[in-house]
Structure 1
Amino acid sequence: MSNQRKSGTSAAATAAALVGQAVALHQSGRLGEAEALYRQALAAQPRQPDALHLLGMIACQTGRLKEAADLIGQAVAAKRDVPDYHANLAYALQALGRSTEAERAARNALRLRRPFPEAANTLGNALNAQGKAAEAADAYRAALRARPDYAEAEGNLGAVLRSLSRPDEAEPLLRHALATNPALTEARAALGLTLLDLGRADEGETVLRTVLAQRPDHATALPALAGSLQHRGGDAEPAYRRYLTLEPADAEGWNAHGLALQAADRITPAAEAFARALRLDPKMAAAMTNLGTIRRLQGRAAESADLQRRALDLHPGYAAAHTNLALALQDLGEEDRAEREFTFALDTDPAQALARFNRAILRLRQGRLTEGWEDYTVRFNSGRLKPRRPFNIPEWEGGDLAGRRLLLWAEQGLGDELMFGALLPEALTRFPGAIVECEPRLVPLFKRSFPGTIVRAPTRRPTDADCHLPFGSLPRLLWKTAPVPPPPAGWLKPDPGRAAAWRSRLDALGPGLAVGIAWTSQRITTERRQSYTELRDWIPLLRLSGLHVVSLQYDGREEEIAAVESRLGLRIHRWADLDQIGDLEGTAALMANLDLAITVASSAGEMAAALGTPVWRLGRSDWTQLGTAVRPWFPSMRCIQPDGGDGIGGTILKAAQMLARLCQGDL
């Protein structure tokens, strides 16, 4: 044997011995000492495959992934028939995001050994990262067939099935994986997402919060939690802000954050978020149309229309942009073009409920009742109103009611309930035996107003009715064409005893007109702000002589009232023993004795008018006038509208002038 061969054999033996010593240290967790011995082995035999492989594994364990892939790759090049080398190379490459190379290495491992659950799991990860979710699921299943207790593979399979829109299959897999190994953070995050997909938002949010307690920087759990909170009307903004601190270059995240800010009526920050999304992705049509919506809310309708057109240039046929362009055109007074845009949106996406709802409002404002009420049927799906109540009985479509009992139920807020309720006298005549469910505070008033009718608060699962109909669907059946038959004036009946008591209290104020006023709303948003006022705007009216002004502002506003009283040296009447929110019987008894009520768009005005009290309603013409100069729902109501470009303040001056003439007997 030559000296050269003896030297090579000696070097190989030395390297093997060093690797053997290092393995024991490696297995006991003494990585630094093991690494030193592996390097000595490589100094003795530079291409020693086990030393390269195991040194690469230490690099992998200590987060030096690029070095790990390089070392294990050298081991594979030195000895290509070891399946573990290929499997661990695949793991390192996948951790580096080099999914195509990882897939190739994992497949090499599986060609050399089958079954090989770890390699199959890594193959699934590589395929999933490339968007090949169905193939990834097959790989995870192969891993589980080889090793049924492989919790990581089971969690990965659950996650990929969830991504394939199969949450019912995903949930049990994820729960079982977590029961086996509670430390699987990604499986827990996937479970949270799955529960959200299944509509179990409370459970899903709880799971996602658990994930974030363990990993505050989890980039999937944060936006998912924020999105769920936003969908449910919660405060999503902190979660989005935290996420965007971690991922500031995520244009989709900024767009979602903008929507959350808009939902919270934080209009200026919302505009900044949408603008940032567009800086990151100038071709993001969703952010473009959302920014356009903000500009419309800011009163910049022409700029809004331009942004919507640019969104449509980026994404032709984008239904949301057509809808938002229509709204901008409507603000610009171009109603015909607005209607065409709403229709374009529906042609593109027949399920675009918001477009159809807004087209309904446009048509109703024009007095086109048949078309308008037909479009209005989608209101519960538009996102602009409260959701439809769930029922265990079908909705009535207007056919023959023979042998069936109808349940009529109130929808939306108190003002809408009273407005649509104006059709109840006719409805109860046409549909005898119908049951009425309304706001609990209104039950006594409605019982008195509709004697012989079952009136009650909402029930969960009614057992005494065969079909149902929301109040807002009554006009589609009863008011198909204009002009509509006006409801009876004063259909809402106050308690006679309480009304008499309030008559005495108002008489005690002395000679003069008792005039109730309501000047604002409990819920003011940017979109609604122009419809409301401050009490100080009413000073020209409050200074008139011969008045006893009564506050119908149900939310109190004591500081605002006291400031105006002090400034003018007068009294705005309110009574500590009347809760205008909780005690609607008492409120109705007071309103029924007023000589006049002057209100902005408010449930106070609706109730006073339903009682038959004369009401002057201040504000711009809206769809509830159904194309007329009045509001047909309330025969005792008069609409006072601003001139031209004047704001609502101009209507207060008009009302003051009219009231002065009334006091002088000229009206």
Structure 2
Amino acid sequence: MPENRDSLLADCQQLMANGKWNEARSRLENAFTASPNDVLIAYTLASACRLSGASDRAALLFHAIHTALPDMAEAATGLAFSLAELNRANEATNLLRQYLVRHPEQASAYGALAEIWMKSGVFAAVTRTFKATAILAPTADNLGNLAESLSLQRSFELAEQHYQRALAKAPGSAKLQLNYAVHLLTQGKTNEGWKYFEARLHPDVADAPIRILSLPRWDGNTLADKHILVVSEQGLGDEIRLAAMLPELAGKARALTVECDPRLVSLFKRSIPSVNFHAFSRIKKSGRGHYTYGWLPRDGGPECYIEIGSLPLMLGHGLTMPENVGGFLVPSVTLQDEIDDKLRVAAKGRSLVGLSWASSARQFGRATNYPPPESWRRLLDLPDICLVSLQYGAAARAVKEIEEATGHKVLQLEELDLRDDLEALAALEASLDLVLSVGNATAALSGAVGTKTLELLASPGWVPLLNDRDSFLGATHRVAQQQLGDWIYPVERVRELALTHLRKR
């Protein structure tokens, strides 16, 4: 018997809400084949395709619906987002602007336009457009988007007003609470910021982890007689940065077990021998990490757990400079000596400066996080240095591109796997005099081994800063834009810090 259309759509909407986009897409593809003229099935399928990363298929579906129903706001915005994700942002914004000429009252189209502009690096009209959205439809989401854009522009007082209005309308919104946490932490307001940061664990947050774990969560009480498990949840760079708090936690607990990225196990074990480290057992489904714990012992194992991202809250991490200026991770001495010998021969007495200018993440909107080539050209004009590539993946091509863009030669140790062999990356970075980087795991590891590290950021994100100093990694400065899209301040400030550091050698 054919599946009831309404129940199918309801089921698929629930699957999508739970992050099971591919499962929803499979069922909807079958329904679409049977009923290709059903607009609701086509629209829901297009949405599932877009969420699962099939932007090309989503764009075709949304385009067909938009052509048939040019006044349908959902089709126009869905098509615009799909085009933007296919690196066709100009087409996307033109489509929305034309739609708004016909429908100037449509709040969702203003919101989509502002979001695409922001992710494209066209910041001039972003806040004004989000404001129009919030005026037309003062929902919690629209007020929150306006507040977020104001906070990114460092209009903190005005952003606070809109965040409070949004939170009053939707006090249980995990997404809103998480954005508000970043707003607070950016200002150094850690007491409240870390509390709101707990919202990242809510199932409504798209990348919140899922665990099969029967232990109780640590409630903050004394650990003197407890064996505690710290569980993984964040990206690699966040995991490295937050691991700076593990020695403190180890001093409070009877025993400490930590799950971590498999690439970090040997490095962590050498560096903090009092802690038991174990590689996580994780698979990724629809953007979420699913963790299992069959590796835990049945007897004598941990009695409670805590997420590594909750350590700042539980340990009361405030705005104080960390004491680990010399790093807290210890690379392999043998490996470091081998790499150091190669580097010093190549450097011929010049200072060794590591360089990481991009991340492997290529989602729409990521490019605005990285300085353009002309900024690197100015920054790398430092006296008597030998630049060393810290890029991984298709590094040879990336090195050639940065050399052509900046006019500076970059040394690449091609025999090192800087993505999967973090022991090699740690040893390489420990052999350098200075690291210049965008905000990524490479920069976090550099600061963690104690190498002076200068990060260039579009925004500081969730990491509280004290006069541009990282509050977790004592060797790291994180210099963020003062105005969205303007790399002048970060580049000049990092260049000044680099010159000062190199003069002291």
TM-score range, shorter chain: 0.7 to 0.9
Partner of 1:448: 270
Q: Is the 8 A contact 1:288 1:307 kept in 2?
A: yes
Deviation at 1:612? 0.7
Partner of 1:513: 351
Deviation at 1:630? 0.9
User: CA–CA distance in 1 between the matches of 2:401 and 2:213?
Assistant: 52
Point out the more displaced range, 589-598 or 560-569.
560-569
Partner of 1:461: 292
Partner of 1:472: 309
Name structure 2 gaps, 5 residues minimum. 282-290
Deviation at 1:384? 7.2
Query: Which residue among 473, 486, 490 is the counterpart of 2:327?
Result: 490
Query: Which residue among 501, 504, 519 is the counterpart of 2:338?
Result: 501
Partner of 2:371: 533
User: CA–CA distance in 2 between the matches of 1:414 and 1:603?
Assistant: 6
User: CA–CA distance in 1 between the matches of 2:133 and 2:482?
Assistant: 35
Q: Is the 8 A contact 1:193 1:224 kept in 2?
A: no
Deviation at 1:650? 5.5
Equivalent AA in structure 1 for residue 264 of structure 2: L
Q: Kindly tell me: are residues 204 and 545 of structure 1, through their superposed partners in 2, closer, same or farther at Cα, counting changes over 3 Å?
A: closer
User: CA–CA distance in 2 between the matches of 1:260 and 1:661?
Assistant: 46
Partner of 1:26: none
Query: Which residue among 420, 424, 440 is the counterpart of 1:586?
Result: 424
TM-superposition CA deviations, 1:352-398 (whole Å, max 9, x none): 22322222112112221111111111124497773223233343332
User: CA–CA distance in 1 between the matches of 2:406 and 2:161?
Assistant: 52
Query: Which residue among 10, 24, 30 is the counterpart of 1:210?
Result: 30
Q: Kindly tell me: are residues 267 and 342 of structure 1, through their superposed partners in 2, closer, same or farther at Cα, counting changes over 3 Å?
A: farther
Q: Is the 8 A contact 2:224 2:252 kept in 1?
A: no
Partner of 2:486: 647
User: CA–CA distance in 2 between the matches of 1:516 and 1:576?
Assistant: 14
Deviation at 1:455? 1.1
Q: Kindly tell me: are residues 204 and 338 of structure 1, through their superposed partners in 2, closer, same or farther at Cα, counting changes over 3 Å?
A: closer
Q: Kindly tell me: are residues 469 and 497 of structure 1, through their superposed partners in 2, closer, same or farther at Cα, counting changes over 3 Å?
A: same
Q: Kindly tell me: are residues 592 and 298 of structure 1, through their superposed partners in 2, closer, same or farther at Cα, counting changes over 3 Å?
A: closer
User: CA–CA distance in 2 between the matches of 1:252 and 1:563?
Assistant: 40
Q: Is the 8 A contact 1:609 1:615 kept in 2?
A: yes
More strand by share: 2
Partner of 2:287: none
Q: Kindly tell me: are residues 388 and 262 of structure 1, through their superposed partners in 2, closer, same or farther at Cα, counting changes over 3 Å?
A: farther
Taking CA–CA contacts closer than 8 Å with sequence separation of 6 or more, which of the two structures ends up with the larger relative contact order?
2
Q: Kindly tell me: are residues 303 and 535 of structure 1, through their superposed partners in 2, closer, same or farther at Cα, counting changes over 3 Å?
A: closer
Deviation at 1:338? 0.5
User: CA–CA distance in 2 between the matches of 1:657 and 1:282?
Assistant: 48
Q: Kindly tell me: are residues 214 and 389 of structure 1, through their superposed partners in 2, closer, same or farther at Cα, counting changes over 3 Å?
A: closer
Q: Is the 8 A contact 2:143 2:163 kept in 1?
A: yes
Q: Kindly tell me: are residues 503 and 627 of structure 1, through their superposed partners in 2, closer, same or farther at Cα, counting changes over 3 Å?
A: closer
Partner of 2:200: 379
Q: Is the 8 A contact 1:325 1:341 kept in 2?
A: yes
TM-superposition CA deviations, 1:190-235 (whole Å, max 9, x none): 5465355355654442232123334433323211112223334443
TM-superposition CA deviations, 1:46-67 (whole Å, max 9, x none): xxxxxxxxxxxxxxxxxxxxxx
Equivalent AA in structure 2 for residue 546 of structure 1: D
Q: Kindly tell me: are residues 223 and 373 of structure 1, through their superposed partners in 2, closer, same or farther at Cα, counting changes over 3 Å?
A: same
1:554 aligns with 2:392: yes
Deviation at 1:637? 1.7
User: CA–CA distance in 2 between the matches of 1:377 and 1:481?
Assistant: 16
Q: Kindly tell me: are residues 542 and 391 of structure 1, through their superposed partners in 2, closer, same or farther at Cα, counting changes over 3 Å?
A: same
Aligned length: 482
1:357 aligns with 2:150: no
More helix by share: 1
Equivalent AA in structure 1 for residue 338 of structure 2: A
Partner of 2:74: 252
Partner of 2:242: 420
TM-superposition CA deviations, 1:286-319 (whole Å, max 9, x none): 3333333334445666744444444344334x11
1:602 aligns with 2:440: yes
Partner of 2:473: 634
Provide the alpha-carbon RMSD of the alignment: 3.4
Name structure 1 gaps, 5 residues minimum. 1-176, 179-185
User: CA–CA distance in 2 between the matches of 1:313 and 1:539?
Assistant: 43
SS in 2 for 1:341: helix
User: CA–CA distance in 2 between the matches of 1:483 and 1:660?
Assistant: 25
User: CA–CA distance in 1 between the matches of 2:129 and 2:205?
Assistant: 22
Equivalent AA in structure 1 for residue 470 of structure 2: R
Deviation at 1:614? 1.4
Query: Which residue among 40, 48, 55 is the counterpart of 1:220?
Result: 40
Deviation at 1:659? 4.8
Partner of 2:109: 287
Q: Is the 8 A contact 1:386 1:412 kept in 2?
A: no
Q: Kindly tell me: are residues 383 and 287 of structure 1, through their superposed partners in 2, closer, same or farther at Cα, counting changes over 3 Å?
A: farther
Q: Is the 8 A contact 2:260 2:280 kept in 1?
A: yes
Q: Is the 8 A contact 1:302 1:328 kept in 2?
A: no
